[in-house]
Structure 1
Amino acid sequence: MALVPFEWKDKPALIEHLFPVQKISAESYKEQMAGSGKTLTALGSYWKGRKPLILNKACILGSLLPASEDRLKDLEIFELLMGMDLGSMKKRLEEKLPTSKRNTIDQLLVLPYNEQVKNAKRPEEVGEHLFLHVWDRVNKHLGTSATSFPDLIKQMGIARFGRRPKFADVFSGSGQIPFEAARLGCDVYASDLNPIACMLTWSGLNIVGASNEKRAELHNAQKKKVKQVQKEIDVLDVETDGNGWRAKAYLYCVEVKCPESGWMVPLIPSLIISRGYGVIGDLIPVPEEKRYNIVVKYVKNKEEIDEADNGTVQGGEVVHSPNGSTTYRTKISTIRGDYREGKKNKNRLRMWEKTDFSPRPDDIFQERLYAVMWMRPRQSGRGDIYEFRSVTDEDLAREKKVIDYVREHLEEWQEKGYIPDMVIEKGYNTDQPIRERGWTHWHHLFNPRQLLVGALFRKRLEAYEYPQFGRILDYNAKLCRWSSYPGPGRAGKTQNVFYNQALNTIYSYGCRGSEWLEEFFTADNFKSFPCQFETRVNSHPAQELEVENDIYVTDPPYGDAVKYEEITEFFIAWLRKNPPKEFEQWNWDSRRSLAIKGEDEGFRQGMVAAYRKMAQKMPDNGIQVLMFTHQSGAIWADMANIIWASGLQVTAAWYVVTETDSALRQGANVKGTIILILRKRHQEIETFRDDLGWEIEDAVREQVESLIGLDKKVRDQGSEGLYTDVDLQMAGYAAALKVLTAYSRIDGKDMVTEAEAPRQKSKKTFVDELIEFAVQTAVQFLVPVGFERGEWQKLQAVERFYLKMAEMEHLGAKTLDNYQNFAKAFKVYQFDQLMSDSSKANSARLKLSTEFKSSIMSGDAEIAGTPLRALLYALFELSKEVEVDDVLLHLMENCPNYLTNKTLLAKMADYLAEKREGIRGTISFKPEVEASCARVLAESIRNQRL
């Protein structure tokens, strides 16, 4: 029997009661590790903030599915729809493994879930046939009659909202969230302030989401345009040598005059041109002209190649030797003429003008071509052969021809919008090219060849080619590093500008020939997932939303380290004039001043305005999913302020590990995603702080016990557990926030007014105090097995943190964000003092006693002078084979109130012995020694006669 309209109108959503975060984390991490293999990344890899599609799917399904009395059945149905059940996992493993290894599938299916995921294809890679076996069970449980996700989504939407669900994301960014909603079968509204975000979102929905017929049409049209560009280049005769060879890449470098010697010196950090092909650049002095020729040489031995790795730029200095005996070293900052004027850093570079597109003869930084990579088809007809050559007079004549052609057309091209004429506005990222090169307009970041090819593509551009053109720009600017060793046997390649979300000016760079850029100008680079329902993409501030929607899933830009409003101007400068009809309603400006940035009071006000508008533009039974990646301790208070002031209430919170380790992240930076589920606050209720404590404690206890109960039922069925302590902690926070945000007035204060009040630096607001109180209440409920509540409360916060994290490590948790979460919860401010020096994002751990040694026994450190610190020192002594009686004597001296704490010390030692058991060690990390010493110490303390 079909569901009737509004049958589920008041039913709680599944995501408000359960969410298998451990499995979703494993799936999310797998997707993030896929890098360029992700579904939408090819549209614009320069936009890094991408929430995994699998996580978005979980949030959308979880918002529509109802929570019933049978939570186990609810979980089973959710996992079927997510492709996480045993039958689906078997199919995913079969798809990934070669036929010869499929007999190992049964062995893989008994491994922990994250190990299964590592060996399997992602659900989206398998396709719709992954779900053929689920529909009978899903329909029986839900009362639906679906045979596909669009069917199911429509029927659930009708049951909840009386229509196919209207879904929105008003901070669409790269478009991951709206794309997944459209793929599942929702009607989608997406918006963003930034036109590049809108373009990426539109491209996901209309290119990756295009029908097969549309994709074929795009393929043919783009192939035709590539031929037209190639023909224009060939007519100019600036990329071929007349002997059948075409230039694949040009290598350029900056050149400066050395103030000490008067020589012109090319700035090339490494003279290796191609490690795979054994090619180097050799500097040949030309004394009569006080300059160097650069000769391209093929060498055979590794020593010569390694020697060439030391170029003319070393540690910020120009280094060269014209005669082989005298070496000149000059700081580049000296050549640039850096100086301070008041509080500002300045230099003596000439600021380039709008009409400039190459250096003037008297500029400090000159540019020169120093090598060309040529290619021609093999005679066998399969592939190309490559050859690196020194620059010839003919090459320089072709360079001049390009410069003259660009000069002749510059004004016309800028007028028509074929190349940029936009000024680089000063900013955190955009100061760099101005300061380091004197570039003042965006076209200064491109050399004449790059401007020529860019203009030829730009004048033919239609909406469906905008993302491809963005990739051409990303891979063909003066900020593109030349990689001499992209892989074994490979010649070399240019890397993209936005490998690290900055505008890094470099001294030598690669420029692609037009044929090498053609690989970007095709829709064939993009995956295909046709989306057949209504989608709209608009460019406006979030608070100017005018469309009502049933479900909002948002990932706003709070605390965002990447300033997209600045770096996307690199693309906006090329695309802003004469946009196609699909994009002409958008404001082609980054509108920096309007961008919500997670740094100040403006951020909170912008967020409140946005979420208040979303609350107004959804039905009474509408639901919002708010994702945020927290680093700052104030984020919980900020979020509570925003939720309160927006007229919303928290109904659940979950924590998902979504991020990967990356060499680009320095130190131990890490991000995990907190997911808050929000509903409208319908009633105006008042309470007092004295009553809140009991209510929060009851809510936390009920929530945690509910999750522990479900976790136990799942384990009893032989499955892995659903939740870890971090998840229970998050649930505790959510329960506390749910209680708090249900009230409009507390202690006679209007909470909307309190939430909107500006923050004063280093002064706690009423909301801050309430959040702190709620979090403490939640954390106190989580007492580890082995301790009585009274004993646990007696310990210092830092001791509880260390012991709690030892338990987490025993359970296999090793992501740094776990430690950050618990440190905030326990109010431990110097948790980094307790962490191993080798800790990083996805491989963090506490120091063992052998790493503490005798450090921080006293002083200001939080752990100094605590019974736990005395205990850890005793373990260190035991590991050094100090006599047990001496160890106990020192323990009595080091531990305050030894007799009072004796039983507790023995319990802590037992606890550490248990938690360090069975953890895999390394040469420098020996938890088994710690466990053994802890067992000995616990027994010795108990048997000690005083």
Structure 2
Amino acid sequence: MTKIYSPKKLIEVALPLDEINAACAHEKQPGIGAHPRGLHLWWARRPLPAARAVIFAQMVNDPGYQQDGGFKYGVNKKEAEIKREKLFQIIRDLVKWENTNNEEVLNRAREAIKDSWRETCHLNRNHPQAAELFNPEKLPAFHDPFAGGGAIPLEAQRLGLESYASDLNPVAVMINKAMIEIPPKFVGQAPVGPIPEGKKKQKLIEDWSGAKGLAEDVRRYGHWMREEALKRIGHLYPNVKITDEITSERPDLKPYAGEELTVIAWIWARTVKSPNPAFNHVDVPLASSFVLSSKKGKEAYVQPVVQGDKYYFNVKVGKLPAQAKTGTKVARGPNFRCVVSGVPLDGKHIKGEGMAGRMGMKLMAIVAEGRKGRVYLSPTQEIEHIAKSAAPTWGPETAIPHDKRSMFTPLYGLTKFVDLFTPRQLVALTTFSDLVQEAHKKVVADAKSAGIKDNGLGVDDGGTGASAYADALAVYLAFAVDRLTDYNSSISTWKASGEQVMQTYKRQAIPMTWDFPESNIMGVKSICWLKAIKYTADNLNACTKLNSLIPGIVLQTNASTQTISANKVISTDPPYYDNIGYADLSDFFYVWLRRSLKSIYSNLFSTMAVPKAEELVATPYRHGNKEKAETFFLNGMTQAIHNLAENSHPAFPVSIYYAFKQAETREGSTSSTGWETFLEAVIHSGFSIDGTWPMRTELANRMIAAGNNALASSVVLICKKREIEAESISRREFQRELREKMPEALEAMVGGETGSTPIAPVDLAQAAIGPGMAIYSKYGAVLNQDGSKMSVHDALILINRAITDYLNPNSGNFDADTLFCDDWFSQFGWSEGQFGVADTLSRAKGTSVEGVRDAGVIEAGGGKVRLLKWSEYPQDWDPKTDDRIPIWEACHQLIRALNQQGESDAGALLARMPERGEPIRQLAYHLYTLCERKKWAEDARAYNELIGSWHAIVAASHDVGHKGSQAKLDLDF
């Protein structure tokens, strides 16, 4: 027997998407406490609940009837549903944030995985490779070849799998080592560092299970580093004294008279020479805002005071002047005005000054810590002098990549990473970087004194002794330096509404900033070293409470050539075409990690910058043009995924995440170069796409999505190796199969009243491609009439057309009034049109303008016709008393009720017309698609929100119906 019998996995049949999506949304919110993502910044991480649920469902067998060639087994449908529900309940419990480290829940999941594995091993007990592939006593290992931020391999480890992670990017490799490789080496290790003065003495018996001891030593040595740094650079971070001179100008500061306040931050503005010839010796400020605090009752702002050819800054409190909100900025982009002469400073002048090295900085304000919050003070020459007296002896001279999509500072002369930091920031960061190595030596000595043996092997060489333990601690201390770096560059910003410092990477780019805060990292509040240490230790514990005993292996390797995947379970989140240039972005951190850790990980940090030539991203500036970049991406991704198809364990499907909004509209259908290119790579690699699952893994309010209907989901592709002898079919046969199978698949996706939450319209266009691609990709080829192979692009056009046909009101049993409104909306939107046009259209649809007007959905008069907006519909409308109700009217009345009154009232309205629920839902999908293609974002939002709330509306309508039935029963009784 050579055939491998692989029972269908749960992920190929069904998932409790509602609970997974809810858990993903919750996990993305701030304020949930310590989280593995807090160890080190990485971009576009998958939420832990999604990764956990996908891996679990990928490994457990579906309990329903199974049929695969030579074997059949299974249970009856009802019994299968009961068993499937038990697996669903495991997933529901598994994805809850509070159960992340719940041993009872995790053990149930692990046992279910083991049960399925033993069943699969039994089916393949006679296979020639049974000993190698199907050992019932040992689960297969896991591998993620695009490990990135480490969420997926971390969750595989949490589920009990030996976890392998690999990535080409050294920063990603280091993050994964810190999460899954290093902690298991030091499970149960008690801390060896000296307890800081003032801290509670250690108990005689302490719980140092998991990585608690390792995390505690991060705190202890971090505290030691701060004390050492204070001795060396504490003079650069002086307190500010509230003198009588200050209180005479600011009576609000009298309660602090004579006191020295701890500075939280200094607020700076960049400067350039004035373009006015009479004042070209003056360095004038480029301030995008003079507002320091916009909190009600705590308003504070900077007021520039001009005296001849000089100026200085005063800090004021009270009502904000209008001009304070814009600073010296006068328009979008780099356009300012000279504060002295009033002449404009355009982008060309500012860029020229920057490239000539004449861009400087001037202190605008000081933020100090008061007894009841922030205190804002005017700058002094002495304080500014102290800051500028810092003399760094080292800086990261690595060039900033010239990717104009995400790296904006080179346009203004900031061409090296050293240019992104003030002198004081450079001195502080290099001091702490140096102290990482000094702490390393101290750890070795302390560990030996605590009885830990040392064979001289470092952690990168597999050691677990004193030297290796010191290496491990150095990694987490270096991560704390990186956290400081993110918040302590001249690209960070001050958020006036929250009175707080915002990090460099608010989005996936290094923008140009004009005014910026410089934090007191030697303090104890806000952005400081002690907070960075606390977050690092807390988040290390969040990674390792239970999974510390499971080994993890992390390697730097190219996904296109790696061989680690052999006979392993694969789930991965590859790069998204040209969405994020990870290598360019991570250089910012690499230069500091390299300085701190090169002696420990010499191979990983052998280059001056992150390797870029082989990074699988379609970046035109690297490859010469867009076409060459696309070819590079397609070839490289095809090879990488081909490795997975050839090497992954044959008993399991491969899951691949993809999140890319379809953005190009052509010939009435929507497509995306990135999506098409990725699908080409997957199919050419030898995979068939057997299913897709939309996961709500992105926050709708993330910065990259601001102002548009961005995709709210990742699409998880479920892939299996395609049969070598897969047959070919004709274009006509492909279209026939689409017509037969797509409606059922789409109906399952849009949900309805089946109990599942429907996929939001913003996601449907992409998620629905899955069923169509499942048809396309299972064949060796789909042949056009001329015998050529149909491309993915052409297949997507036909698949999108099938989606449009399904959603189009003309394809269903919609009333004539709705068909008229739909065509009119497509032509005119909410604008007026000529009565004659409306009359012709209404006759063609089998109705009349007068009839549609009487239905209450249009306004007609004076030779003009227009559709009524949902906000114009009457609030007292009752479908029970209306004798002419187009689905158009019912849909927009439901939108009105939802927006003006909420889900409960919308449900009550639906309860009075339940038979119209399904056509309302179908119309909403169709209108969303129409608005999206016409770029009517505001209108599209209304239809998307209706579908997003559909499950709650239906539930509310059922509650109303139940109460009504109960009331009737009570009355009868």
Please give the TM-score of this superposition, normalised by the length of structure 2: 0.66
Q: Which residue of 2 aligns with 1:81?
A: 90
Check the 8 A contact 2:59/2:652 in 1, yes or no.
no
Q: Is 663-672 or 573-582 further displaced after alignment?
A: 573-582
Distance 1:728 1:311, change over 3 A: closer
Distance in structure 1 (CA, Å) of the matches to 2:866 and 2:263: 75
Letter of the structure 2 residue corresponding to residue 562 of structure 1:
I
Q: 1:468 aligns with which of 480, 483, 501?
A: 480
Q: 2:692 aligns with which of 653, 658, 661?
A: 653
Q: Show CA shifts across 1:118-173 (max 9, x none).
A: xxx634457335678999999999989xxxxxxxxxxxx99787632311212222
Distance 1:386 1:858, change over 3 A: same
Distance in structure 2 (CA, Å) of the matches to 1:663 and 1:880: 36
Aligned 1:204-283 pairs, distance under 5 A: 204-205=179-180, 211-234=211-234, 236=235, 239-240=238-239, 245-260=261-276, 261-262=278-279, 263-275=282-294, 277-283=298-304
Answering whether residue 502 of structure 2 is matched by residue 495 of structure 1, we say: yes
Distance in structure 2 (CA, Å) of the matches to 1:200 and 1:458: 18
How far the C-alpha of 1:630 sits from its partner, in A, is 3.0
Q: Show CA shifts across 1:609-630 (max 9, x none).
A: 1100112222332421011113
Distance 1:320 1:142, change over 3 A: closer
Q: 2:537 aligns with which of 524, 534, 549?
A: 524
Distance 1:866 1:192, change over 3 A: farther
Q: 1:606 aligns with which of 636, 647, 666?
A: 636
Q: 2:723 aligns with which of 678, 682, 687?
A: 682
How far the C-alpha of 1:421 sits from its partner, in A, is 1.8
Distance in structure 2 (CA, Å) of the matches to 1:480 and 1:223: 25
Answering whether residue 756 of structure 2 is matched by residue 721 of structure 1, we say: yes
Check the 8 A contact 1:83/1:123 in 2, yes or no.
no
Letter of the structure 2 residue corresponding to residue 280 of structure 1:
Y
Q: Which residue of 1 aligns with 2:403?
A: 427
Distance in structure 2 (CA, Å) of the matches to 1:875 and 1:38: 58
How far the C-alpha of 1:602 sits from its partner, in A, is 1.8
Q: Which residue of 2 aligns with 1:744?
A: 780
> What secondary structure sits across from 2:613 in the alignment?
helix
Answering whether residue 579 of structure 2 is matched by residue 566 of structure 1, we say: no
Distance in structure 2 (CA, Å) of the matches to 1:907 and 1:692: 44
Distance in structure 2 (CA, Å) of the matches to 1:565 and 1:865: 58
> What secondary structure sits across from 2:773 in the alignment?
helix
Q: Which residue of 1 aligns with 2:556?
A: 539
Q: Show CA shifts across 1:417-474 (max 9, x none).
A: xx312122322246521212x1221101101100000101111332122332221111
Distance in structure 1 (CA, Å) of the matches to 2:373 and 2:800: 65
Distance in structure 2 (CA, Å) of the matches to 1:882 and 1:282: 54
Q: 1:332 aligns with which of 330, 346, 354?
A: 346
Distance in structure 1 (CA, Å) of the matches to 2:682 and 2:715: 15
Answering whether residue 892 of structure 2 is matched by residue 851 of structure 1, we say: no
Distance in structure 1 (CA, Å) of the matches to 2:223 and 2:141: 37
> What secondary structure sits across from 1:566 in the alignment?
helix
Q: Which residue of 2 aligns with 1:670?
A: 710
Letter of the structure 1 residue corresponding to residue 561 of structure 2:
E
Q: 1:394 aligns with which of 382, 385, 390?
A: 382
Distance 1:421 1:923, change over 3 A: same
Distance in structure 1 (CA, Å) of the matches to 2:611 and 2:139: 34
How far the C-alpha of 1:508 sits from its partner, in A, is 1.8
Identical aligned residues as a percent = 18
Aligned 1:342-361 pairs, distance under 5 A: 347=352, 349-352=354-357
How far the C-alpha of 1:787 sits from its partner, in A, is 8.2
Q: Is 239-248 or 19-28 further displaced after alignment?
A: 239-248
Unpaired stretches in structure 1, ≥5 consecutive residues: 1-5, 90-120, 145-156, 339-346, 353-362, 379-383, 414-418, 487-491, 755-764, 804-830, 835-846, 892-905, 939-946
Distance 1:774 1:429, change over 3 A: closer
Distance in structure 2 (CA, Å) of the matches to 1:750 and 1:666: 45
Check the 8 A contact 1:31/1:38 in 2, yes or no.
no
Distance in structure 2 (CA, Å) of the matches to 1:642 and 1:142: 30
Q: 1:17 aligns with which of 13, 25, 33?
A: 13
Check the 8 A contact 1:12/1:66 in 2, yes or no.
yes
Distance in structure 1 (CA, Å) of the matches to 2:516 and 2:835: 49
> What secondary structure sits across from 1:229 in the alignment?
helix
Please give the TM-score of this superposition, normalised by the length of structure 1: 0.68
Distance 1:910 1:445, change over 3 A: same
> What secondary structure sits across from 2:435 in the alignment?
coil
> What secondary structure sits across from 2:63 in the alignment?
coil
> What secondary structure sits across from 1:443 in the alignment?
helix
Letter of the structure 1 residue corresponding to residue 569 of structure 2:
I
Q: Show CA shifts across 1:60-97 (max 9, x none).
A: 0111110122442343122221235xxx99xxxxxxxx
Letter of the structure 1 residue corresponding to residue 508 of structure 2:
Q
How far the C-alpha of 1:873 sits from its partner, in A, is 10
> What secondary structure sits across from 1:649 in the alignment?
strand
Number of paired residues?
745
Distance in structure 1 (CA, Å) of the matches to 2:222 and 2:339: 50
Check the 8 A contact 2:368/2:377 in 1, yes or no.
yes
How far the C-alpha of 1:685 sits from its partner, in A, is 2.6
Q: 2:489 aligns with which of 467, 471, 477?
A: 477
Q: Show CA shifts across 1:545-587 (max 9, x none).
A: 1212422112222244333222222222222346356643325
Distance in structure 1 (CA, Å) of the matches to 2:263 and 2:797: 64
Check the 8 A contact 2:56/2:113 in 1, yes or no.
no
Answering whether residue 286 of structure 2 is matched by residue 286 of structure 1, we say: no
Distance 1:270 1:431, change over 3 A: closer
Distance in structure 2 (CA, Å) of the matches to 1:257 and 1:743: 66
Distance 1:871 1:211, change over 3 A: farther
Distance in structure 2 (CA, Å) of the matches to 1:445 and 1:578: 19
Check the 8 A contact 2:315/2:376 in 1, yes or no.
yes
Answering whether residue 423 of structure 2 is matched by residue 448 of structure 1, we say: yes
Distance 1:621 1:869, change over 3 A: farther
How far the C-alpha of 1:13 sits from its partner, in A, is 0.8
Distance in structure 2 (CA, Å) of the matches to 1:728 and 1:306: 44
Q: Which residue of 1 aligns with 2:677?
A: 638
Q: Show CA shifts across 1:384-405 (max 9, x none).
A: 9865443334324423531xx3
Check the 8 A contact 1:850/1:879 in 2, yes or no.
no
Distance 1:533 1:800, change over 3 A: farther
